C-alpha cells in the first residue's frame, strides 16, 4: 500500500514536499516513481529512485524537483521548488519490484499505486 500526502495550493515560484508512505511490502527492495496527471492529459512520469538511491527525472522538472527516500521510515519524498502553473496535477507514487530504469516512466511496470494528492500552482 502507498499513501501520498503533502499536496495543496501554492503560488507560482513556491515549494511543496510530497511524501509517499509505503506499507505491506519490502519497501527497501522496491524502486519508486512519482507520476502526475493534469486534467485532460495522460499520466506522465516525473521522477524515479531505485533501491540504491540512483535517480532520474523528466526533463521539465530537472533542477527543480528532487526525489529521495528514507528506508527507515519506508517513505519517498518529492521536493518541488520553483513551481510553475504547468506543474498543477494530481501526483501519484508507484512502486515496482523490477529493475526498469529504461522504462521507468511506463505505468505498466509498477505493482503498487497510491491514491494521489492534488497539487495546484496558482498566481
CA distances from 61 to 71, 74, 87, 89, 105 (A): 24, 24, 9, 13, 14
123 pLDDT above the threshold of 90: no
Residues 48-85 have pLDDT tens digits of 999 999 999 999 999 999 999 998 889 999 999 999 99
Average pLDDT over residues 30-57: 96
**According to the model, what pLDDT value does residue 27 have?**
83
Q: Tell me how far apart the alpha carbons of residues 32 and 51 are, in angstroms, rounded to a whole number.
A: 8
Residues 86-122 have pLDDT tens digits of 999 999 999 999 888 889 999 999 999 999 999 999 9
Torsion (CA) 107, 108, 109, 112 in degrees, nearest 10: 70
Q: Tell me how far apart the alpha carbons of residues 61 and 114 are, in angstroms, rounded to a whole number.
A: 21
Amino acid at each position: 500500500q502507498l499513501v501520498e500526502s503533502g499536496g495543496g495550493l501554492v503560488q507560482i515560484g513556491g515549494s511543496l514536499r510530497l511524501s509517499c508512505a509505503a506499507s505491506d511490502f519490502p519497501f527497501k527492495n522496491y524502486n519508486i516513481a512519482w507520476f502526475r496527471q493534469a486534467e485532460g492529459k495522460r499520466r506522465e512520469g516525473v521522477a524515479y529512485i531505485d533501491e540504491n538511491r540512483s535517480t532520474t527525472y523528466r526533463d521539465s522538472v530537472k533542477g527543480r524537483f528532487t526525489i529521495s527516500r528514507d528506508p527507515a521510515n519506508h517513505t519517498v519524498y518529492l521536493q518541488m521548488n520553483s513551481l510553475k502553473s504547468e506543474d498543477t496535477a494530481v501526483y501519484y507514487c508507484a512502486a515496482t519490484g523490477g529493475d526498469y530504469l529504461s522504462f521507468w516512466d511506463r505505468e505498466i511496470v509498477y505493482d503498487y499505486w497510491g491514491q494521489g494528492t492534488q497539487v495546484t500552482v496558482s498566481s
